[in-house]
Chain A
Amino acid sequence: MRTLIFRTVAPYFTSLMLIYSVFVLLRGHNEPGGGFIGGLIAASALAIYGVACGVSPVRRAIRFHPMAIAGFGLFMAAIAGVMSIFVDVPFLTGLWIYPKVFGVELKLSTTLIFDIGVYLVVLGSITSTALALEERERD
């Protein structure tokens, strides 16, 4: 798989796919998309990088162990649900704030935090599996 062409193109592919995955994640609240599919796209981006350039560059590039990323995502999702305890509404109720940044109204919510959590869980767990499989292939 490690042809010169693939190795040259893969980093660009990976960065593009990662940006696109964030786009899909943010788009997800009202239109098709969301944390799950975004996470899958991001995980496949890292998998492509792994196939092209080897697993250890990927592990170096993401700094944290993929399972730790998944753990952080789970933590974020749980915290997003718990936040509603402070405003006396049931678990997992979506809370919204609308701050104005540079004249543009931003819609921020705990739902978004939850979705980013899902994104990280999917990214972490799928990447962990993919990297383990790619490592085996070289032995």
Chain B
Amino acid sequence: MASAKKSDVNLENAMVMADPALADWLVAAPLILGFIFGAICLMQRKNVLLQTRIALFGLLLMLIADIGLFINVWQNGTVVMTMGRWLPPFGITFAADMLGATFALVAGIVGLAGGIYALSDVDSTSRRYGFYPFLLLMLAGVTTAFLTGDIFNLYVWFEVLLISSFGLIVLGSERRQLDGAIKYAFLNLVATTLFLIGVAYLYGVFGTLNMADIARKAPALQEAEGPHFAIAIMFLFAFAMKAAAFPLNAWLPASYHTPRIAVSAVFAGLLTKVGVYALLRIFLTMFPADRDELGAVIAIIAALTMLVGALGALAQTDIRRVLGYLVISGIGLMLAGLALGSETGISGSIFYAAHSMIVMTALYLLAGIIGRLMGTFDLHKAGGLYQASPWLGALCLVLAFSVSGLPPFSGLWPKVLLVKGSIDVGAWWLAAAIIVSGFLTTIAMVRVFSFSFWRTRAEGLVEIGPISREGRIKLYAALGLTALTVIAGVYPEPFIQVSDRVAFELTHPQTYIDAVFGGNQEGGGQ
């Protein structure tokens, strides 16, 4: 692997005096915009209408910045900016490679969709208690976690997004919300603590927290054995917990169905994926050798996560809980690519992660719409929706097919890549797990569909009215996301191109190191 090559960096300059290009600011833009608009919203807490407009404008600007960053990275390679003019290992570096830029872009889309949906889902009391500021700050935290190039800084953004998510999950202060919030908060804090301890050990061993610097020094320390492997395991444990991988998945279905749907949707789209991102970054950029050793373990975790998630989804009667288990099942698929470590596998993982962020958010939004129409999320009491709104049924079916990985929607292609990657290395059982979990997901989703749409409405339940004018906004948010999954399914070529490029960069960490250290390298390089 390319990272085995030793590269020297001249650290005598200490500061970078070259002027950063204006485009480099895009790497910090989501953070700046999120914080500035979040702060303005906080100042306008009484004026709910104005606050909402400002927040949506901020979300839109963040998405535009994400798009700009993505285009910039696609054309010019990794964008790097080190805060306060310091040279990379001393200052805090933000480095957007294709992985970070892609995830940031999808996060921007999900955030905007959640913000639009919330227009008719989140009442003005919750808005006064800070729905939009929390959403903006959480999105800033998530996006910057994808873009930072410093592992302690990654911890900071984890904290930012966690604290904002605590705020979001208790909005409304119902009893079951507090119950869900406590489980969510406690288990996440345990994982964060482990992560922090891991970072402390890492600093003790490497004397640096810059990801590129660690990646540069890792091969030399690999031979020294020592606590290196233990640190890797600690990170695996911490982030597997954050990503809700089996057997650390219990917190997710226990908490994701309690908050408002807009909040659940954004959580399902973003939060677990930050854990997956951290795993990819740590095990592919920083410790590729440890990944090679842990590959089998990660593969087993991945297979079990997919199956447990899909089986759990089958057993639930609350639509939102079904979706919670499907989020877990998706995490298994993303881990499968990490376990394979081949470019095909990683490419499949990246594509699947982007697909899952979009589709899971859309599914939660859809669940919110049909739950509102039926007056319940309980499948036992569901039914009769098809007569009320056949188009909604079509939307539900599209998303159900997409999440199960059936053609012609976006779930299919990443699964093809992952199955191909598994068979290439002879891991037939992993391929089987992917296919079986897809099959189980299909059953779980068809169950939701047939219970809530095809079954005639039982006697004595409230009549299903048409979607209100306000409710249309919700539908637009869900439709927008669904359109993306259809496009990615019918015309996957550019999407696969992107994920292939991400996979190439991840399997060649030297490109990341070179980009971060830029002109200060001597002798190293490619």
Interface residues of A (CB under 8 A from B): 65, 67-68, 70-75, 77-79, 81-82, 85, 88-94
B35 neighbours in A (Cβ, 8 Å): 74-75, 77-78
What residue in chain A is nearest B20 (Cβ atoms)? A90
A91 neighbours in B (Cβ, 8 Å): 25, 28, 32, 81, 83-84, 94
What residue in chain A is nearest B133 (Cβ atoms)? A71
B36 proximal to A (CB < 8 A): yes
Interface residues of B (CB under 8 A from A): 16, 19-20, 22, 24-25, 28, 32, 35-36, 38-43, 45-46, 81-85, 94, 130, 133
Max chain A CB contacts within 10 Å: which of B16, B32, B39, B130?
Answer: B39
Known A82-B32, A90-B83, A90-B85; contact A75-B19, beta-carbon cutoff 8 A: no
Known A81-B32, A91-B25; contact A71-B84, beta-carbon cutoff 8 A: no
Judge whether A67 and B85 touch: CB under 8 Å: no
Q: How far is the CA of A94 from the CA of B19 in the complex (A)?
A: 15
Known A71-B133, A79-B36, A94-B84; contact A89-B20, beta-carbon cutoff 8 A: yes
CB < 8 Å: which of B16, B41, B84, B130 contacts A92? B84
User: Closest CB-CB distance, A72 to chain B, in whole Å?
Assistant: 6
Judge whether B45 and A65 touch: CB under 8 Å: yes
B25 neighbours in A (Cβ, 8 Å): 85, 91
Main secondary structure, interface of B, reads helix
Judge whether A93 and B84 touch: CB under 8 Å: yes
Sample of 13 further A-B pairs with CB below 8 A, known A71-B38, A90-B24, A91-B32: A72-B43, A74-B38, A74-B39, A75-B43, A78-B35, A89-B20, A89-B85, A90-B83, A90-B84, A90-B85, A91-B81, A93-B84, A94-B84
B85 neighbours in A (Cβ, 8 Å): 89-90, 93
Judge whether A75 and B83 touch: CB under 8 Å: no
B20 neighbours in A (Cβ, 8 Å): 88-90
Across the A-B interface, give the 5 residue pairs with the lowest CB-CB distance, nearest first: A71-B42, A75-B39, A74-B39, A88-B19, A71-B43
B82 neighbours in A (Cβ, 8 Å): 90
Q: How far is the CA of A90 from the CA of B43 in the complex (A)?
A: 28
What residue in chain B is nearest A69 (Cβ atoms)? B43
User: Closest CB-CB distance, B492 to chain A, in whole Å?
Assistant: 36
B130 neighbours in A (Cβ, 8 Å): 67
Q: How far is the CA of A42 from the CA of B514 in the complex (A)?
A: 46
Q: How far is the CA of A68 from the CA of B94 in the complex (A)?
A: 29
Q: How far is the CA of A67 from the CA of B46 in the complex (A)?
A: 11
Q: How far is the CA of A91 from the CA of B86 in the complex (A)?
A: 11
B38 neighbours in A (Cβ, 8 Å): 71, 74
Judge whether A71 and B83 touch: CB under 8 Å: no
A to B CB contacts below 8 Å, 16 in the list: A67-B45, A71-B39, A71-B41, A74-B38, A74-B39, A75-B36, A77-B35, A78-B35, A78-B36, A85-B22, A85-B25, A90-B24, A90-B84, A91-B25, A91-B83, A92-B83
Q: How far is the CA of A85 from the CA of B46 in the complex (A)?
A: 32
User: Closest CB-CB distance, A114 to chain B, in whole Å?
Assistant: 11
Judge whether A68 and B43 touch: CB under 8 Å: yes
What residue in chain B is nearest A117 (Cβ atoms)? B39
Judge whether B19 and A89 touch: CB under 8 Å: yes
A71 neighbours in B (Cβ, 8 Å): 38-43, 45, 133
B81 neighbours in A (Cβ, 8 Å): 90-91
User: Closest CB-CB distance, B200 to chain A, in whole Å?
Assistant: 21
B36 neighbours in A (Cβ, 8 Å): 75, 78-79, 82
Q: How far is the CA of A75 from the CA of B42 in the complex (A)?
A: 10
What residue in chain B is nearest A73 (Cβ atoms)? B39
Q: How far is the CA of A72 from the CA of B83 in the complex (A)?
A: 23
Q: How far is the CA of A80 from the CA of B38 in the complex (A)?
A: 16
A82 neighbours in B (Cβ, 8 Å): 32, 36
Q: How far is the CA of A90 from the CA of B84 in the complex (A)?
A: 6
User: Closest CB-CB distance, B75 to chain A, in whole Å?
Assistant: 21
Q: How far is the CA of A99 from the CA of B28 in the complex (A)?
A: 31
Q: How far is the CA of A92 from the CA of B41 in the complex (A)?
A: 23
B39 neighbours in A (Cβ, 8 Å): 71-75, 78
What residue in chain B is nearest A111 (Cβ atoms)? B84
What residue in chain B is nearest A82 (Cβ atoms)? B32
User: Closest CB-CB distance, B128 to chain A, in whole Å?
Assistant: 10
What residue in chain B is nearest A125 (Cβ atoms)? B42
A94 neighbours in B (Cβ, 8 Å): 84
What residue in chain A is nearest B91 (Cβ atoms)? A90
A70 neighbours in B (Cβ, 8 Å): 42
Judge whether A67 and B42 touch: CB under 8 Å: yes
User: Closest CB-CB distance, B239 to chain A, in whole Å?
Assistant: 27
Q: How far is the CA of A74 from the CA of B84 in the complex (A)?
A: 19
User: Closest CB-CB distance, B54 to chain A, in whole Å?
Assistant: 12
User: Closest CB-CB distance, B87 to chain A, in whole Å?
Assistant: 11
B83 neighbours in A (Cβ, 8 Å): 90-93
A92 neighbours in B (Cβ, 8 Å): 83-84
Q: How far is the CA of A92 from the CA of B32 in the complex (A)?
A: 11
B41 neighbours in A (Cβ, 8 Å): 71
A88 neighbours in B (Cβ, 8 Å): 19-20
User: Closest CB-CB distance, A65 to chain B, in whole Å?
Assistant: 7
What residue in chain B is nearest A70 (Cβ atoms)? B42
What residue in chain A is nearest B35 (Cβ atoms)? A78
User: Closest CB-CB distance, B30 to chain A, in whole Å?
Assistant: 12
